[in-house]
Chain A
């Protein structure tokens, strides 16, 4: 910044030189002076000056001014409540007004102890009330959704939540109703507040008005330990705090990483944590016992059984990975089977490519882009919700969003979400053609890149020829739920599954070892930017974690493998991450480049799957609110996908189908009947169906209107 853009502002007698146009609240902060605020939140767009908490005196202006609405101008002289009696009186008045109708039920309010209203009242407010009339009362709490409850008496009408809904998530669902003293926050038409981002309003709310229902009466802030970790629900890797009470996760909050999430978090990342306490959680190893089904066994017995199976299989072990393992877990497994058993075949959850490494950029760069190509057939809101928020931010700033490959000229950022992206190869090719600086590929799994790094770091040997499968190791619930893996299991002599939940492996595994969640692991993930991030153990798992049993098993095969993520990471890091130490990954990880990273093999370019003119190609995708964890969270069931097939307007018209019609899709020797949903944003030739409703239908599909049965 050149000196000419700096202006001189005097705040409480302190001179600061600051960029012209900087908000006064920030300018004061620069001078070490607090201007208290409630409604001001720069991430929500232009300031609205509603709460009047930030009143200051400005020389030359007759009335007190809302500092949040003003920007630094040269020569401005500002007096805050510290030096201006008028401003102090103004702030005191604001707080008196705010508290006039506030129920002051702090002892039973979940916000108590971490409440900006409490804090600011303590510092700036009146010590006693002069209000001796009845307060406004409202029915409360109102569940505006199963995950969020609204207390209108505590609400101070700062409009942060409605502005979030209007200007960030752009769903327009939260609105203010009525007028004046009767104004209340409400959902539009009193419908439940749905969407990917609703939970953010519970963090934006400066009082105890909008609170997560899961946290209701669960803990007091002073009993909480907050653990900084990273969300493992998708490939974005939002930074989070997990709040623990007595070792149990009680709440997940955003831990603003301004390059990744800007302090937002999706509802899956925020609310799905209660799957840790799912009633069908596996806590002990279980082994198939002939004729008698499954039976819990001791860890010693389980390790013995696994060793026996693996010894018999030697060189014929195949590992199916989920993509949700930490780098360390994946490496440990890889070392066990590749070094210990000379088996080199892995089933990775998806294709991974290093092709995009040249276009590596922070997600925040999307927000500054002018033209953004969003490609692929899966909505970003489903695959990587926070990326969608960046795109929306860019659009609000005037960016053009292009969703067709034919129209990408001038694009400065490309994003691929959906099948056909081939691990980023496709988007990298486009990026090269167009000369764009930043390109992103959204993997289907949270750590697809990291586990591929780990697998290749363990050995350079290539898989051998086709052979029989002695043991199939299925790592994690996603792999266990994958139909291709089930197919392999049928060919395997023995199957060892690591899974969190009963039921997923029942009937086809010989040995099931209890799995852990990303919230219970220490280790690292690589997100879709290629950023290596640190997970910390938050909740204590009910069983030893994967690294521990892998390490014990490895010892049986004379493989040296410490059960500590830091040691395992050191080994991987030497090969993949430039020798970075575990401690250096950092709490807010930087986006690094690694010269010594092993080159992934780029598969040859394949032609796009062509669909016959007028035909439909089935695109199956994992909706945001799907997967084994979400399925186990009661509060999220209302957000689950519906049994629908989305069709473009063109295809709907061609088939004479309207939204709400029952249609049958036939393809790949199977058929399924679903409700049709016409989506004008969808490209022609695509029929989009959530994975869980597609059955065995695959590829090119025929569509017919279902017979209406009486």
Chain B
């Protein structure tokens, strides 16, 4: 992955500001582009002022939920109101399929993330920041740790403690409350909300949880000024830029920073160089695998929350994954459903049971053994998952599957009519089931057998 394209596709450069192909990993380089100047400025301000600037910028969460970052910070009680410590947890457990931007932030501008953490710590008067980093991110962990050591040595941390914690490979731990459970050393399962983390988060203390990209934007907000920041992108709601994760069947996949509001077509065809090998675009996985898919006739939709929302689509974590016409959409839906079945934590009923059922029905469709009625059941199961689970993982499985069925119903029907996959072995996804197919098996080998004493 060392050769991932990371570039500023459209000005202004915010998160990647100062990056021109050479990672800003050491302190001096980062300082040479103005690094840590905003931390100094922030510390000269009152915490409330800093929070207000973030609120004014209308910076919103880049992890997927798009919640206003400043407002979230304002929910944290001030230290005089609580007897417990106040924590910041940075969600660096980047695991949404198609998302690979946070790792590039940690590799290319690690100090900007740390500066953001320290600014946020000042804003909510927290003394302890935890960075929960995806376990598979080895290099990212090392680069970030090195940057942290450097910052610590340069006495930039002040009285703030920063702890980097490595996850153990569960997608669900990217869900904020499951992340907290995992950080506490427990089984990674989401908590029921309320109470919200702002009141009872890590170790039952007030906790601010932000995505890497969101928190890395904080120094930028101060640098360009909140009012100016609020004009960038697609105001009023989708301000600033995005690190779009362009992947799939495109000529130049990579992480591209561009303001909110560019069109999907522009990103895929102009920035990404279009669909290679003369193929046609069939669908776009947009926002992440957790959301409904986009069809080619929606390509001119602007990449901002409101424009996408008008089509029932989501900006998510900035994923734009092009799917060309070699791909069997049933296989795509099956592959997505398998992922969520594998990653469902097992806590709540609809997700635990429903994701497996989805896989079973989709497998039958793909094999041509399903009936028209099964398609209705499939949609109904999706419907019975959406909005009824403890966290959004269930929705994340059901929404893309349902969108595939409704938007590509003819292709599903073709499977039924054909008695199997019309693509045969030619689908581009045909070989991508191996690691997960085992999970569709119905009988699990049992290792437990407690001997009678």
Q: Does A96 contact B (CB under 8 A)?
A: yes
A133 neighbours in B (Cβ, 8 Å)? 357, 360-361, 364, 442
Neighbour of A138 across the interface among B350, B390, B446, CB < 8 A: B446
At the interface with chain B, which of A19-27, A181-189, A668-676?
A181-189
Cβ contact within 8 Å between A98 and B353 = yes
Q: Does B354 contact A (CB under 8 A)?
A: yes
Q: Give bound CA distance, A50 to B360, whole Å.
A: 23
B80 to chain A, nearest CB (A): 22
Q: How many residues of chain A are within 8 Å of chain B by beta carbon?
A: 56
B345 neighbours in A (Cβ, 8 Å)? 179-180, 183
Cβ contact within 8 Å between B448 and A97 = no
Neighbour of A187 across the interface among B343, B439, B450, CB < 8 A: B450
Cβ contact within 8 Å between B450 and A130 = no
Cβ contact within 8 Å between A181 and B447 = no
Within 8 A of B (CB), among A673-694: none
Q: Does B384 contact A (CB under 8 A)?
A: yes
Which A residues form the contact surface with B (CB < 8 A)?
47-53, 55, 62-64, 66, 69, 89-90, 93-94, 96-98, 100-101, 130-131, 133-139, 142-146, 156-157, 159, 175-176, 178-184, 186-187, 190-193, 637-638
B346 neighbours in A (Cβ, 8 Å)? 157, 176, 178-183
Cβ contact within 8 Å between A52 and B388 = yes
Q: Give bound CA distance, A47 to B387, whole Å.
A: 19
Neighbour of A97 across the interface among B191, B343, B353, B452, CB < 8 A: B353
Interface centre among A100, A135, A137, A181 (most CB of B within 10 A): A181
A143 neighbours in B (Cβ, 8 Å)? 450, 452
Selected A-B contacts with CB under 8 Å, 24 pairs: A49-B390, A53-B349, A64-B387, A66-B390, A69-B192, A69-B194, A93-B388, A94-B350, A94-B388, A97-B384, A133-B442, A136-B443, A137-B442, A138-B444, A146-B452, A176-B187, A178-B444, A179-B342, A180-B344, A181-B352, A181-B439, A187-B448, A192-B450, A638-B453
Q: Give bound CA distance, A176 to B346, whole Å.
A: 9
Question: In the complex, given contacts A96-B384, A97-B353, A183-B352, what are 15 additional A-B residue pairs having Cβ atoms less than 8 angstroms apart?
Answer: A49-B348, A64-B387, A93-B384, A97-B349, A97-B350, A97-B352, A136-B442, A157-B349, A157-B352, A175-B187, A179-B346, A180-B341, A180-B342, A182-B439, A190-B447
Interface centre among B342, B349, B384, B444 (most CB of A within 10 A): B349
Within 8 A of A (CB), among B185-199: 187, 191-192, 194
A21 to chain B, nearest CB (A): 12
The 10 closest A-B pairs by CB, nearest first: A183-B346, A638-B453, A180-B344, A93-B384, A49-B192, A181-B356, A139-B446, A134-B442, A97-B353, A133-B360
Q: Give bound CA distance, A31 to B412, whole Å.
A: 49
Cβ contact within 8 Å between A51 and B348 = yes
Q: Indicate the size class of the contact surface on chain B.
A: 35 or more
Q: Give bound CA distance, A659 to B293, whole Å.
A: 62
Q: Give bound CA distance, A145 to B451, whole Å.
A: 8
B388 neighbours in A (Cβ, 8 Å)? 52, 55, 63-64, 90, 93-94
Q: Which residue from chain A places its CB closest to the CB of B389 in the assembled complex?
A: A52
Q: Give bound CA distance, A182 to B440, whole Å.
A: 10
Q: Give bound CA distance, A145 to B452, whole Å.
A: 7
Cβ contact within 8 Å between A66 and B192 = yes
Q: Give bound CA distance, A53 to B354, whole Å.
A: 15
Interface centre among A62, A89, A183 (most CB of B within 10 A): A183
B445 to chain A, nearest CB (A): 9
Within 8 A of A (CB), among B337-386: 341-357, 360-361, 364, 377, 380, 384
Q: Give bound CA distance, A184 to B387, whole Å.
A: 25
Q: Give bound CA distance, A176 to B188, whole Å.
A: 11
- Knowing A52-B390, A145-B450, the reply to whether A100 touches B347 (Cβ < 8 A) is no
Q: Give bound CA distance, A159 to B341, whole Å.
A: 19
Neighbour of B353 across the interface among A47, A66, A181, CB < 8 A: A181
A192 neighbours in B (Cβ, 8 Å)? 450-451, 453
Neighbour of A190 across the interface among B343, B355, B443, B448, CB < 8 A: B448
Q: Does B449 contact A (CB under 8 A)?
A: yes
- Knowing A49-B192, A137-B443, A181-B356, the reply to whether A637 touches B349 (Cβ < 8 A) is no
B360 neighbours in A (Cβ, 8 Å)? 133-134
A183 neighbours in B (Cβ, 8 Å)? 345-346, 352
Q: Give bound CA distance, A50 to B353, whole Å.
A: 12
B364 neighbours in A (Cβ, 8 Å)? 133
Q: Does B334 contact A (CB under 8 A)?
A: no
Q: Does B25 contact A (CB under 8 A)?
A: no
Within 8 A of A (CB), among B58-79: none
A448 to chain B, nearest CB (A): 33
Q: Does B399 contact A (CB under 8 A)?
A: no
A573 to chain B, nearest CB (A): 46
Cβ contact within 8 Å between B387 and A179 = no
Cβ contact within 8 Å between B448 and A135 = no
Cβ contact within 8 Å between A101 and B453 = no
Q: Does B170 contact A (CB under 8 A)?
A: yes
Neighbour of B377 across the interface among A50, A130, A182, CB < 8 A: A130
Q: Give bound CA distance, A55 to B353, whole Å.
A: 17
Q: Give bound CA distance, A97 to B357, whole Å.
A: 9
A373 to chain B, nearest CB (A): 26
B452 neighbours in A (Cβ, 8 Å)? 143, 146, 638
A101 neighbours in B (Cβ, 8 Å)? 353, 356
Q: Which residue from chain A places its CB closest to the CB of B446 in the assembled complex?
A: A139
A176 neighbours in B (Cβ, 8 Å)? 187, 346
Neighbour of A94 across the interface among B343, B349, B361, B447, CB < 8 A: B349
Q: Give bound CA distance, A472 to B270, whole Å.
A: 106
Q: Give bound CA distance, A509 to B360, whole Å.
A: 72
Q: Give bound CA distance, A51 to B348, whole Å.
A: 5
Q: Give bound CA distance, A184 to B364, whole Å.
A: 26
Cβ contact within 8 Å between B390 and A180 = no
B353 neighbours in A (Cβ, 8 Å)? 97-98, 100-101, 181
Cβ contact within 8 Å between A98 and B349 = yes
B448 to chain A, nearest CB (A): 5
A96 neighbours in B (Cβ, 8 Å)? 384
Neighbour of B347 across the interface among A48, A138, A638, CB < 8 A: A48
B439 neighbours in A (Cβ, 8 Å)? 180-182
A64 neighbours in B (Cβ, 8 Å)? 387-388
A89 neighbours in B (Cβ, 8 Å)? 384
Q: Which residue from chain B places its CB closest to the CB of A156 in the assembled complex?
A: B349
Interface string of B280-305 (1 = CB under 8 A from A): 00000000000000000000000000
Q: Give bound CA distance, A63 to B191, whole Å.
A: 17
Q: Give bound CA distance, A49 to B388, whole Å.
A: 11
Cβ contact within 8 Å between A47 and B448 = no
A142 neighbours in B (Cβ, 8 Å)? 446, 448-450
Q: Give bound CA distance, A183 to B352, whole Å.
A: 9
B453 neighbours in A (Cβ, 8 Å)? 145-146, 192, 637-638
A55 neighbours in B (Cβ, 8 Å)? 388
Q: Which residue from chain B places its CB closest to the CB of A186 in the assembled complex?
A: B448
B399 to chain A, nearest CB (A): 14
Cβ contact within 8 Å between B444 and A136 = yes
Q: Give bound CA distance, A53 to B451, whole Å.
A: 35
Q: Give bound CA distance, A66 to B390, whole Å.
A: 8
Neighbour of B356 across the interface among A48, A49, A180, CB < 8 A: A180
A180 neighbours in B (Cβ, 8 Å)? 341-346, 351-352, 355-356, 439
Q: Give bound CA distance, A134 to B389, whole Å.
A: 24
Cβ contact within 8 Å between A179 and B450 = no
Interface centre among A157, A175, A193 (most CB of B within 10 A): A157
Interface centre among B346, B350, B357, B447 (most CB of A within 10 A): B346
Q: Give bound CA distance, A637 to B447, whole Å.
A: 25
A51 neighbours in B (Cβ, 8 Å)? 348-349
Within 8 A of A (CB), among B404-453: 439, 442-444, 446-453
A190 neighbours in B (Cβ, 8 Å)? 447-450
Cβ contact within 8 Å between A135 and B442 = yes
Q: Give bound CA distance, A98 to B451, whole Å.
A: 30
Q: Which residue from chain A places its CB closest to the CB of B387 in the assembled complex?
A: A63
B354 neighbours in A (Cβ, 8 Å)? 97
A186 to chain B, nearest CB (A): 6
